Amino acid sequence: MKRLLFVILLFLATFSLNAQQWRFVRHEVNFGVGVSNFLGDLGGAKGIGTHYFKDLRGRSTRPAIELGYKFTITPAFSVKTSVVWGYLNGDDATTKNLIRNNRNLHFRSMIGDWSVVGQWYPWEERISHRYKISGIYGNRTFTIMPYVSLGMGMTMFNPKAKYNGNWVALQPLHTEGQGMMGRPEPYKRITMNFPIGIGAKYLITSQWSLGFELSVRYTLSDYIDDVSTTYYKPGSFTDPVALELQDRSLDPNLGWTGVTEFDNGLVNYKQRGNPNYNDAYMFAIFSVHYRFTKGQTYIPKF
């Protein structure tokens, strides 16, 4: 009976302490390294290019780094802002779709990603380890804190393609006729994004922890890879580089790419991308977290 009473009192004391101690460690910074992957028109699996996981390709994986700051509002809810620098890559040479493979387009882009997300910890974010009671002293347990996140942010990008050994910026070339007759204005190289993620943190001490997060950024742009709608009339391109890069099909005689102009004046602009899906990308980040301590905190050692 005394042992049970001791365990109950210890639990209540620890719960009460944790309920107060989070107020002294509300500020946290993190540094992470990981990888990024593109989900869009170029590359991908069979079928139509989408921003779903089915188009994920290991050969398109590129490095990424993250710097972040988190403010704890309650033990179960925090707000985090972060900046991620990384690369995105897509290449039709990696897809098993015959039409896209023959299209033969590719791109790479360095991206700057800034976001603000809310993080929800279903079992709350702990300040200290849990303990199992063995006699008088406790045995520390493995403390993992899972969470989900949702928010919004901005993405800066600049798609490039390799041409004669050099990487050429594609947006100024207007490869789909942007700004020409009957076409929309050139796209912006900055867009909003909407991050959705899941992650977990492993508590090392009251101030240090390790984390892993997998997140997807859905964007409002379909031009991160410079591909969205249809081909445009070759005769409208005055820049020879633009003319070369707008249609790089392996076998133009298949009739899957380019533009067909008929004698009666009608024009068939063949599909170059899929405008029904905006582009998206993913991050998988391993991170180190540090909490700043405000005032004197006390964590029980029993």
> pLDDT tens for residues 167-223?
999 999 999 999 998 899 999 999 999 999 999 999 998 899 999 999 999 999 999
- Please report whether residue 155 resides in a domain: yes
Per-residue pLDDT averaged across 81-106, rounded? 93
7's tokens: 């365990």
Alpha-carbon distances of 18 from 11, 21, 75, 116, 148, rounded to whole Å: 10, 5, 9, 26, 21
Is position 99 within any domain? yes
Structurally, how many domains does the chain consist of?
A: 1
Please, which pLDDT band fits residue 136 given cuts at 50, 70 and 90? very low
- Average pLDDT in the 240-255 region? 94
d(CA 170, CA 176): 10
Domain ranges, residue 36: 2-162+181-224+278-292
| pLDDT of 132 over the 90 cut | no
pLDDT over 90 at 236, yes or no:
yes
Q: Hey, what's the torsion of the CAs at 14, 16, 20, 21, to 10 degrees?
A: 0
Answer yes or no: is 22 within a domain. yes
Which is more confident, 214 or 45?
214
Q: Are 116 and 100 in contact (CB under 8 A)?
A: no
Return the closest-CA partner of residue 219 out of 118, 111, 65.
111
With respect to residue 247, please indicate whether it lies within any of the assigned structural domains: no
pLDDT value at 122 more than 50: yes
Look at residues 77, 86, 72, 103 and name the one whose alpha carbon lies nearest to residue 289.
72
Give the C-alpha separation, 81 to 58, whole Å: 28
The enclosing domain of 124 has a CATH number of: 2.40.160.20
Distance CA 85, CA 115 (A): 12
**pLDDT at position 133 over 60:** no
- Is 33 domain-assigned? yes
Q: Which has the higher per-residue pLDDT, 227 or 143?
A: 227
- Number of Cβ within a 10 Å radius of residue 154: 14
